[in-house]
Structures are given as structure tokens and as C-alpha cells.
């Protein structure tokens, strides 16, 4: 029979595997609980982060939901019972704090994201972003929703700053979040796509296809930030998780998946 900690870890992994929010299972009786909403780009790294956190806090019933930062932001604003929000940008946590849905003093920048242009098709010219956009082999170019997904916004900015937005527009197919966008490319429903570096470095995808990194100067920095929501304000485990994200162990895990981490 699985131990309570093992059961909690399995539950977290199952929830993280979904690219959208899901109902969390109830906390085990007598155990403190912690509910986290995480941007979809974190899906590959959440398993390792959660394992490390549960090792340090073995009595915590930890549950996760993942999706586009903007969608999770809207859910939290409407009272969704998440204790901590891991956003793919700094703006959504700030807006939650401004309207009283989160604690301003708890906002913590813990990583910086990077974006790549990825394909699984060997015939696509990957010599440059322009070559991919203009390639006749690329009929469908995947991008996350720029309104709700910071990585989609970054991709749109890169296309605009390269003067490629008009050429790319007829080819764009939009994912609900960055995880779904990567799925479009992985399954062949898109010929190439802008995805998070963390996804192509994940064990599932690291040997699939080819990618080129989008130069950081082509988009506004993807500053990933955590914040404690009003729902989690009285939960000490929420503060423990924020502290954990600052730890050397968490930084090491994040760096392995291509994130920039604070010194």
C-alpha cells in the first residue's frame, strides 16, 4: 500500500500533467494542506520541485493545478481556493495584490523564462526565425494565447520586433497555454511553434526535433513570480513554499530546466 506521502506526490504529478486547472483532491485528515496554481511552463519542473518540498515538509498534502497564467489569475480573482500562485510573469501577481486578492509583500521573483522556436519536422529550415516563418514547409505555426499566456505574448513581441508579424499571422494556431502549444508541435498539428525552453528540455521532449532560442532582446523579460493569495494568507505552508523557492535546491532544479535564477 502506498504511504500518505507517496499518495500525495502521485496526486500532484497527475494534476501537473494536465495543462489546465483541475479540482484538487481533499487533504488527508489531520495533515496540513497546500494548493498551488502554476503556469503551464512549469509542468516539466513541478514534479522535481514538489518532491524536494515534500521531502522537507513530509506532512503536507500538496496539490497542483496548471494552466495559462491569465486564466489562473482570473480564477484566483473570482475566489478559486489556491494558496500560492506561480505566474509566468510579474504583472499578474501585482494585479492580484492591487485588487486585494493576494499579499503584495509576498511577491517573490524566483526565475526568468526563455522561449524557443521548435519543430519536429526534419525538412524545416531552422537557420533563423525568419527562415522558419517564411518556410513553405511551415503551414501552421503554434503560439500560446498572447492575452493569457506570457510566453505567447513574448513570441508575439519577437515576431513584431523582427518585422515578421504580418507574414506569420496567416499561419498562426493558438494554444490555450504554452503546454498545449508544445503539444500541437509534438503531435504534428503544427509544423513549428514558440514554446518554453523548459518544455523542450523536459525528459519527455529533450530528444524530439530541433529548436533555436529566441534572443532575449526580442521580448520583454519573462520574470516568473510567486505570490500568496488571500486564501493562503493564514496557511503557514504557503510561506514555507515561498521560502523553498528561494532555496539553493529549488534554484538548482530550475536552472537544470533552462530557467535563469536569482543569485
What's the pLDDT at 31?
A: 73
Please report, for residues 27, 90, 123, 232, the alpha-carbon distance to residue 79 in angstroms, rounded to integers and kept in the order given: 19, 20, 48, 11
Is the domain spanning 115-218 CATH 3.40.50.970? The answer is no
What pTM does this model have? 0.86
- What residue spans in the chain does CATH classification 3.40.190.10 cover? 4-112+222-256, 115-218
Q: What is the largest CA-CA distance in the chain?
A: 60
Instruction: Return the CATH architecture of domain 4-112+222-256.
Output: 3-Layer(aba) Sandwich (3.40)
What is the distance between the alpha carbons of residues 74 and 197, in angstroms, rounded to a whole number?
25
Q: What are phi and psi of 236, to 5 degrees?
A: -60, -25
What's the pLDDT at 30?
A: 59
Between vectors from CA 94 to CA 86 and to CA 247, what angle results, nearest 5°? 40
pLDDT in tens, the chain (263 residues): 333 333 233 333 333 333 333 333 444 455 789 999 999 999 999 999 999 999 999 999 999 999 999 999 999 999 999 999 999 999 999 999 999 999 999 999 999 999 999 999 999 999 999 999 999 999 999 999 999 999 999 999 999 999 999 999 999 999 999 999 999 999 999 999 999 999 999 999 998 999 999 999 999 999 999 999 999 999 999 999 999 999 999 999 999 999 999 87
Please report, for residues 78, 117, 138, 174, the alpha-carbon distance to residue 185 in angstroms, rounded to integers and kept in the order given: 33, 10, 11, 11
Amino acid at each position: 500500500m502506498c504511504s500518505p506521502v507517496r499518495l500525495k506526490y502521485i496526486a500532484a504529478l497527475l494534476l501537473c500533467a494536465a495543462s489546465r486547472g483541475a479540482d484538487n483532491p481533499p487533504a488527508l485528515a489531520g495533515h496540513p494542506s497546500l494548493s498551488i496554481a502554476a503556469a503551464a511552463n512549469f509542468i516539466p519542473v513541478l514534479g522535481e520541485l514538489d518532491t524536494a518540498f515534500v521531502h522537507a515538509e513530509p506532512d503536507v498534502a500538496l496539490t497542483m493545478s496548471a494552466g495559462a497564467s491569465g486564466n489562473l489569475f482570473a480564477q484566483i480573482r473570482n475566489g478559486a481556493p489556491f494558496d500560492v500562485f506561480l505566474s509566468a510573469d510579474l504583472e499578474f501577481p501585482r494585479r492580484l495584490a492591487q485588487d486585494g486578492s493576494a499579499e503584495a509583500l509576498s511577491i517573490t521573483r524566483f526565475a526568468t523564462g526563455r522561449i524557443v522556436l521548435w519543430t519536429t519536422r526534419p525538412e524545416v529550415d531552422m537557420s533563423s526565425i525568419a527562415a522558419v516563418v517564411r518556410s513553405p514547409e511551415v503551414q501552421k505555426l503554434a503560439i500560446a494565447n498572447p492575452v493569457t499566456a506570457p510566453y505567447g505574448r513574448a513570441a508575439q513581441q519577437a515576431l513584431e520586433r523582427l518585422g515578421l508579424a504580418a507574414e506569420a499571422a496567416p499561419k498562426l494556431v493558438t494554444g490555450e497555454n504554452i503546454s498545449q502549444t508544445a503539444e500541437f508541435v509534438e503531435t504534428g498539428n503544427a509544423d513549428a511553434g514558440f514554446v518554453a525552453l523548459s518544455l523542450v528540455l523536459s525528459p519527455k521532449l529533450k530528444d524530439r526535433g530541433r529548436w533555436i532560442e529566441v534572443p532575449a532582446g526580442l521580448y520583454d523579460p519573462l520574470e516568473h513570480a510567486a505570490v500568496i493569495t488571500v486564501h493562503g494568507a493564514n496557511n503557514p505552508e504557503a510561506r514555507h513554499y515561498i521560502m523553498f523557492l528561494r532555496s539553493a535546491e529549488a534554484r538548482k532544479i530550475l536552472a537544470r530546466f533552462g530557467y535563469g535564477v536569482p543569485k
